[in-house]
């Protein structure tokens, strides 16, 4: 949607007509809407009300200060300074363009009255407390306005104006609001789903429910180096299994790494008890391996419980592995399981 910005241009008039012409041309070339004192009749209370309204409606405010202070309003300030003060009080983005060497201006473009000279100098000092640029010629001022306004728009984005035929009608606006509300509701539902167990998962084995795993291991006689593979099984819980595998999936893990982790778990859990049996005393126990079918069942169960998900991260064509990562719900569960609680 094309947008145009309204810029209020404030200055004394008679002495800066050429400069104002350059500024207006620069604003028009930027597709901005210039507004200023040319629009208004002679100074009076009604005019000041109108000026304030136009400043209110403007997106940006700029003031050009040369060698004249300008006509004085009822409060003893020039209308140019009154406009500047009002724009600042409204929080408008303001920029001042001050003549670099006002003493070099011709006599008919400078103040003669000492009081006006003092007020002009005070006004310049006040303007220098905000964003300010210095100019010497009308052409110099025009190009400076173009560059400065582009930067001001980037650093202080404003509302701007658009053509009436580009504004959605009432029905379109209502439909946009309805769709926006629908999107917000869907996003909320999706966020809740990510941090909750899937519907129906309460009927699945989980948590402290026990699970029996089949595995095999190898014994090695240290004297004869004879190796024999045995089969066995052991009982654990779904929480114990998840506690062992989940840390590898905080980012993501391939199935081979998960398989190694679960074999290590079986080895740590079973080796000690097996060595107490007569058949295995004095033997080296190694190569603990879970039954492949049991391993796949574990992954399927965690997936059905909404704890893990297949990773969709792009990889090289040579990488044929299957990768898994935690869901937000899985991350929440493992935090509850493994986080250390205060004693």
| Residue range 281-336, pLDDT digits in tens | 889 999 999 999 999 999 999 999 999 998 877 777 788 888 999 988 899 899 98
Average pLDDT on 163-190 reads 69
Question: What is the widest separation between alpha-carbon atoms in the chain?
Answer: 117
- What is the pairing mode between strands 284-290 and 210-220? antiparallel
Closest CA to 103 of 122, 117, 85, 119: 117
Domains belonging to the chain, first-starting first, are 6-166 (3.40.50.10140), 201-338 (1.10.10.10)
What is the C-alpha separation between 134 and 145, in angstroms, rounded?
A: 10
Residue burial 2-28, b: 16+ Cβ < 10 Å; e: rest: eeebbbbbbbbeebbeebbebbbebbe
pLDDT higher than threshold 80 for residue 191: no
State residue 227's pLDDT score.
Answer: 92
Three-state secondary-structure class, residue 216: strand
The reported pLDDT for the residue numbered 338 is 87
Q: What is the secondary structure of 79-148 as a DSSP string?
A: HHHHHHHHHHHTT--EEEEEES-GGGS-GGGS--SHHHHHHHHHHHHHHTTSSEEEESSHHHHHHHHHHH
What pLDDT, on the 0 to 100 scale, is given for residue 107?
Answer: 85
Two tokens, residue 330: 């899985």
Decide which of 32 and 2 is more confident: 32
| pLDDT at residue 188, rounded to an integer | 65
Question: How far, CA to CA in Å, does 288 sit from each of 132, 274, 284?
Answer: 77, 12, 12
CA-derived radius of gyration, the chain:
39
**pLDDT for position 169:** 64
Cβ 230 vs Cβ 263: under 8 Å: no
pLDDT score at 201: 87
Report residue 278's pLDDT band, with 50, 70 and 90 as the boundaries: confident
pLDDT score of 151: 92
Average of per-residue pLDDT values in the chain? 88
Name the pLDDT band for 194 (thresholds 50, 70, 90): low
Helix (H) or strand (E) holding 61: strand 60-65
Higher pLDDT, 93 or 170: 93
The pLDDT value given to residue 40? 58
Q: Quick check: 205 pLDDT over 90?
A: yes
Instruction: Compute the average pLDDT of residues 240-247.
Output: 94
Residue 170 pLDDT greater than 70, yes or no: no
The Cα–Cα gap between 295 and 259 comes to: 7
Residues 175 and 33: their CA atoms lie apart, in Å, by: 32
* pLDDT tens-place string over residues 42-77: 555 578 888 899 999 999 999 999 999 988 888 889
Q: Is residue 251 scored above 70 in pLDDT?
A: yes
User: Residue 339 has what pLDDT?
Assistant: 82
Q: Taking 60 as the threshold, does the pLDDT of residue 1 lie above it?
A: no
pLDDT band with cut points at 50, 70 and 90 for residue 167: low
The pTM score is 0.50
For residues 69 and 12, the answer to whether their CB atoms sit within 8 Å is yes
């Amino acid at each position: 949607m094309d947008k145009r910005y309204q810029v209020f241009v404030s200055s004394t008039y008679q002495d800066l007509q050429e400069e104002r012409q350059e500024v207006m041309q620069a604003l028009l070339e930027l597709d901005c809407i210039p507004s200023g004192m040319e629009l208004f009749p002679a100074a009076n209370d009604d005019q000041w009300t109108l000026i304030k309204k136009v400043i209110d409606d403007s997106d940006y405010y700029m003031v050009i200060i040369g060698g004249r202070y300008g006509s004085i309003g009822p409060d003893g300030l020039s209308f140019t300074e009154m406009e500047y003060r009002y724009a600042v009080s409204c929080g408008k983005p303001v920029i001042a363009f001050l003549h670099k060497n006002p003493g070099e201006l011709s006599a008919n473009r400078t103040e003669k009255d000492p009081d006006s000279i003092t007020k002009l100098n005070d006004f310049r000092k006040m303007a220098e407390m905000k964003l300010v640029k210095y100019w010497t010629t009308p052409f110099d001022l025009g190009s400076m306005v173009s560059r400065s306004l582009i930067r001001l728009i980037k650093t202080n984005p404003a509302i701007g104006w658009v053509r009436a035929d580009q504004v959605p009608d009432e029905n379109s606006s209502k439909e946009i609001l309805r769709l926006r509300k629908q999107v917000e509701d869907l996003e909320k539902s999706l966020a809740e789903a990510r941090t909750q167990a899937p519907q129906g998962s309460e009927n699945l084995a989980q948590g402290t429910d026990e699970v029996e795993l089949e595995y095999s291991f190898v014994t090695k006689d240290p004297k004869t180096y004879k190796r024999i593979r045995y089969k066995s099984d052991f009982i654990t819980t779904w929480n114990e299994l998840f506690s062992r595998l989940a840390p590898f999936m905080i980012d993501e893990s391939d199935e081979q790494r998960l398989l190694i982790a679960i074999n290590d778990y079986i080895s740590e859990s079973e080796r000690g008890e097996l060595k107490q049996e007569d058949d295995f005393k004095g033997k080296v126990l190694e190569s603990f391996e879970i039954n492949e079918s049991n391993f796949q069942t574990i992954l399927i169960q965690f997936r059905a419980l909404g704890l893990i998900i297949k990773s969709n991260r792009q990889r090289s064509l040579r990488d044929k592995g299957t990768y898994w990562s935690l869901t937000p719900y899985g991350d929440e569960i493992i935090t509850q399981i493994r986080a250390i609680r205060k004693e």
